[in-house]
Structure 1
Amino acid sequence: MRVVLQRVSEASVTIEGEKVSAINKGLLVLLGIEDADSTEDIEWLTGKITKLRIFGDEEGVMNLSIQDVSGDVIVVSQFTLHAATKKGNRPSYIKAAKPDVAIPLYESFINSMETVLGKKIQTGRFGADMKVTLVNDGPVTILIDSKNRE
């Protein structure tokens, strides 16, 4: 699994003109799932994201996690995070999981985040054409790949 985490002061997802989710202070999580991903990736990634100290403390030092600041989270499926761009000019998405594999893992990831954070996670809609807006706070943007743990 690959994620792009963006620390935001606000973010929202709109589908077909309807705002389906919105948060204030927190994280926008763009989640890419590949065929090789499993519940082990979900557990590791959930732990990493929820404990990652990327929010400022009282002195402005990035020393607090999403849990520490009681921030909100939006998770948006993003298969293009697994784009292979080595050859040619058209990205290949061969490693990106098909919906029959990706949807259950996406839902499990959201459930895992809700369990750890003890709150509802906002989402986009898997496979939909979404308009994602955000105000990146910092800016702080972090890339994490569960296959690069060491």
Structure 2
Amino acid sequence: MITVLQRVREARVEVDGEVVGQIGQGLLVLLCAEQGDSDKLADKLLAKVLKLRIFSDENGKMNRSVQDVVGGLLVVSQFTLAADTKGGNRPSFTAAAAPDEGRRLYEYFVSQARVVHPIVQTGQFAADMQVHLINDGPVTIPMTMREV
């Protein structure tokens, strides 16, 4: 699984001009399932996302997690994170999970996040979304989790 985390002051997702998810302070989680990914891997990624210390403490040091600051999670599916740009000028997305499996893993990640975190909002899987955010810092962290 691939994710790009952006620490935000606020973020929202619109589909057809309607807000479908929004948060204040927290993390925008752009999420891509790849071929061969599993529920176990999604669980591992979620645990890492929730514990990653990228929010400032009282001394300005990145020492707090999204859980520590009771920030929101805005989880947005983004299969383009699996882009392979090695050949030619048109990216290949063959490493991304098939749409049905990608949706299943995305929904699994979101459902597990809602079990353990109080503020979880989402985009809309496979929709044409407009994502608005105020990146705080800016802090942007790319992460890749692979089966071992």
Q: TM-score, normalization: structure 1?
A: 0.95
C-alpha deviation, 1:148, in angstroms: 8.2
Cα distance in 2, alignment partners of residues 58 and 148 from structure 1 = 37
Off by >3 Å, runs of 4+ in structure 1: none
Work out whether residues 6 and 136 of structure 1, in 8 Å CA contact, stay in contact via their aligned partners in 2. Answer: yes
What is the RMSD computed on CA atoms of the aligned residues? 1.2
Work out whether residues 3 and 144 of structure 2, in 8 Å CA contact, stay in contact via their aligned partners in 1. Answer: yes
Provide the residue aligned with 1:116 in structure 2.
Answer: 116
Cα distance in 1, alignment partners of residues 48 and 18 from structure 2 = 32
Gaps of at least 5 residues in structure 1 are none
Q: How many residues align?
A: 148
Cα distance in 1, alignment partners of residues 133 and 59 from structure 2 = 25
Provide the residue aligned with 1:145 in structure 2.
Answer: 144
C-alpha deviation, 1:21, in angstroms: 1.2
Work out whether residues 71 and 119 of structure 2, in 8 Å CA contact, stay in contact via their aligned partners in 1. Answer: no
Using the aligned pairs only, state the percent identity. Answer: 53
Provide the residue aligned with 1:38 in structure 2.
Answer: 38
Work out whether residues 50 and 116 of structure 1, in 8 Å CA contact, stay in contact via their aligned partners in 2. Answer: no
Provide the residue aligned with 1:64 in structure 2.
Answer: 64
Work out whether residues 37 and 147 of structure 2, in 8 Å CA contact, stay in contact via their aligned partners in 1. Answer: no
Provide the residue aligned with 2:77 in structure 1.
Answer: 77
C-alpha deviation, 1:120, in angstroms: 4.2
